[in-house]
């Protein structure tokens, strides 16, 4: 789409500017709390393309959502002096929220006209938008449903060792929309935790990642990696679907 960089190379073509955007992400999130006016609560809206006739594979759709979320954060337009910077920072420096919606047909095409980044993985498409107040969501996004459609769990096979893996806590049985928001959190956390050169390399590959479900045995092993500092975890605030403080996704860096 015309409003987006032609390739991920454009994200890293200015190393100094890229480093500034990474440094902002690495500072962490929140701190400002919620505003008194509920309409001014900040959120990143996401839209998942789920056609009725040929719905996408769940794992591929979640991989697209995760890549799109971090791509918005690392986009030049979100950096110093960029047109998205004020909206991005207002969100990032308050309490982080993401809301995933679904679209098909003309709704999906209209969503592509709103500021954001679209990622496609094996035919599955997701778009993450520039954050803003929940009381001022573009009407093309506001009218899209948040729930109502889910996708069957799939078995995507072995993980490419050159990709980071976002492990979803299968015991929580999250909907595809909730899981999309959580893997979006995970990709951001991982980008902030990784060294600059590793994130630059990841950006050159479109922030590709693998999303897999973790059974209880795998999850226990992953929690141990978090404790050892070898992985990062998303802990949910508990506004929807899961209890406050639930560990929803664990992101493990690429192994090769």
DSSP reduced 3-state for 218 = helix
Whether 57 maps to a domain, the answer reads: yes
Per-residue pLDDT at 244 = 73
Within its chain, how far is the Cα of 8 from the centroid? 16
94-144 pLDDT tens trace: 888 999 999 999 999 999 999 999 999 999 999 999 999 999 999 999 999
Q: For the purposes of burial, counting CB atoms within 10 Å of the CB of 125, is it exposed (0-12), middle (13-18) or buried (19 or more)?
A: buried
Average pLDDT rounded to a whole number, residues 155-175 = 93
Quote the domain boundaries for residue 52.
8-252
Whether 117 maps to a domain, the answer reads: yes
Whether 59 maps to a domain, the answer reads: yes
Q: Is the pLDDT of residue 252 over 80?
A: yes
Q: How far apart are the first and last CA of the chain?
A: 32
* Rg of the chain, C-alpha, whole Å: 17
185-218 pLDDT tens trace: 999 999 999 999 999 999 999 999 999 999 999 9
Whether 1 maps to a domain, the answer reads: no
Average pLDDT rounded to a whole number, residues 30-59 = 89
CA 187 – CA 189 distance, rounded (Å)? 6
148-162 pLDDT tens trace: 778 999 999 899 999
252 forms beta bridges with: 165
pLDDT above 90 covers a percentage of the chain that reads 78
Domain count, the chain: 1
For 194, the token pair is: 């990784």
CATH code where residue 206 lies? 3.40.1490.10
210 forms beta bridges with: 165
Q: What is the pTM of this model?
A: 0.93
Torsion, CA 56, CA 150, CA 132, CA 94, rounded to 10: -120
Whether 143 maps to a domain, the answer reads: yes
Q: Is the pLDDT of residue 169 over 80?
A: yes
What are the percentages of helix, strand and coil residues in the chain, rounded to 5?
40, 20, 40
Whether 3 maps to a domain, the answer reads: no
Short-list 49, 21, 2, 1, CA closest to 207 = 21
Whether 2 maps to a domain, the answer reads: no
Average pLDDT rounded to a whole number, residues 164-192 = 95
Whether 62 maps to a domain, the answer reads: yes
């Amino acid at each position: 789409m015309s409003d987006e960089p032609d390739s991920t190379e454009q994200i890293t073509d200015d190393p100094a500017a890229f480093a500034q955007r990474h440094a902002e992400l690495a500072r962490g999130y929140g701190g400002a709390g919620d505003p008194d006016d509920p309409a001014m609560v900040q959120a990143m809206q996401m839209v998942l393309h789920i056609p009725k006739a040929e719905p996408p594979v769940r794992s591929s759709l979640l991989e697209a959502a995760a890549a799109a979320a971090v791509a918005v954060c690392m986009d030049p337009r979100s950096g110093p002096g960029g047109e998205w910077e004020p909206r991005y920072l207002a969100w990032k420096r308050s309490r982080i929220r993401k809301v995933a919606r679904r679209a098909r047909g003309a709704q999906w095409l209209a969503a592509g006209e709103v500021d954001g980044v679209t990622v496609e993985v094996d035919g599955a498409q997701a778009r993450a938008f520039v954050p803003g107040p929940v009381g001022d969501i573009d009407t093309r996004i506001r009218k899209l449903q948040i729930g109502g459609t889910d996708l069957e769990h799939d078995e995507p096979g072995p993980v490419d060792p050159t990709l980071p893996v976002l492990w979803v806590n299968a015991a929580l049985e999250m909907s595809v929309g909730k899981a999309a928001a959580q893997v979006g959190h995970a990709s951001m956390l991982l980008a902030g935790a990784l060294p600059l050169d590793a994130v630059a390399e990841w950006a050159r590959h479109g922030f590709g990642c693998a999303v897999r479900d973790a059974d209880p045995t795998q999850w226990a092993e992953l929690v141990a990696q978090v404790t050892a500092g070898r992985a990062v975890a998303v802990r949910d605030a508990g506004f929807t679907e899961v209890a406050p403080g639930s560990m929803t996704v664990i992101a493990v860096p690429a192994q090769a």
